[in-house]
Amino acid sequence: MSLVRENATAMYRQIAVRLRDEIAAGLFEPSGRLPGEAEIGNRFAVSRVTVRQALDLLETEGLIVRRKGKGTFTADTRMRHPLDTLRSFHESLKLQGLNATMRHLRADLTSTPRELRDHFGEHCLVAVRLHLVDNSPVALGRSILPSALAQYDWTNAQHTPIYSILNDVVGKPVCGADVEIKATAAEGEAAAMLEVRPGTPLLVMDRRSYFADQSTAVQSTFFVRPERYSFILSHRWGG
């Protein structure tokens, strides 16, 4: 359906209506990212000024959010992490069809927290990774691991989930996990890497994962930007 061009002042409204309908139809799922201004302008054969007016209208209506240097996203698109399935954070994003990547920040040997010494001994490895979707940060993960993983080539494992690395090095699959969800205020490294102001509310997922013998495989904490991310728990009962 083409635009009606007789009334130039209404062009941006027509584009806004078209984009609004496409958002409602889920056309931009699962990432929620809209085409860039130039692409929208070429599609409708209008100027960027007209496109910006259309996007301004949708933003005023609360249907889209703009992220400087990142793009324009539908405001109601949410990434989902199922809590009833044993799945790595990265894998959960990938299975939703998202352009998910990881950035390895560091892996350091350090003294083991007291509550994990019976599992890891005096020393452990702390690996820190940034999770991104469409190159925009969504979560910062910190994982406490057995010191045996210190020899692993972390810099060349940007797309390898922690669970897979554990299986490769230790030779045992992760078989279960306990998960706690809470909230905190962003500070320090989490605020900087997630590109939010200190004090911004974040979701926190603490997850202790286990091998089949019930020994601890990894203790992970994920600091998550909450505006487009949901944790989902489903129950099914037989009839």
Give residues with Cβ within 8 angstroms of 188, minimum separation 6: 198
- The pLDDT tens digits for 146-182 are 999 998 998 888 788 899 999 988 889 999 999 999 9
Q: What is the mean pLDDT of residues 198-213?
A: 93
Domain chopping of the chain, boundaries: 8-74, 79-232
Q: In the chain, which ranges are E strands?
A: 64-67, 71-74, 79-82, 100-111, 123-133, 136-146, 176-185, 201-210, 216-224, 229-232
Q: What topology does CATH give the domain 8-74?
A: Arc Repressor Mutant, subunit A (1.10.10)
Name the band, by pLDDT with cuts 50, 70 and 90, for residue 111: very high
Q: Which of residues 80 and 221 earns the better pLDDT score?
A: 221
Name the band, by pLDDT with cuts 50, 70 and 90, for residue 236: low
Name the band, by pLDDT with cuts 50, 70 and 90, for residue 239: very low
Q: Does residue 196 register a pLDDT over 80?
A: yes
Q: Does residue 79 register a pLDDT over 80?
A: no
Q: What is the pLDDT of residue 76?
A: 59
Q: Mean pLDDT in the chain?
A: 87
For the domain covering 79-232, report its CATH number. 3.40.1410.10
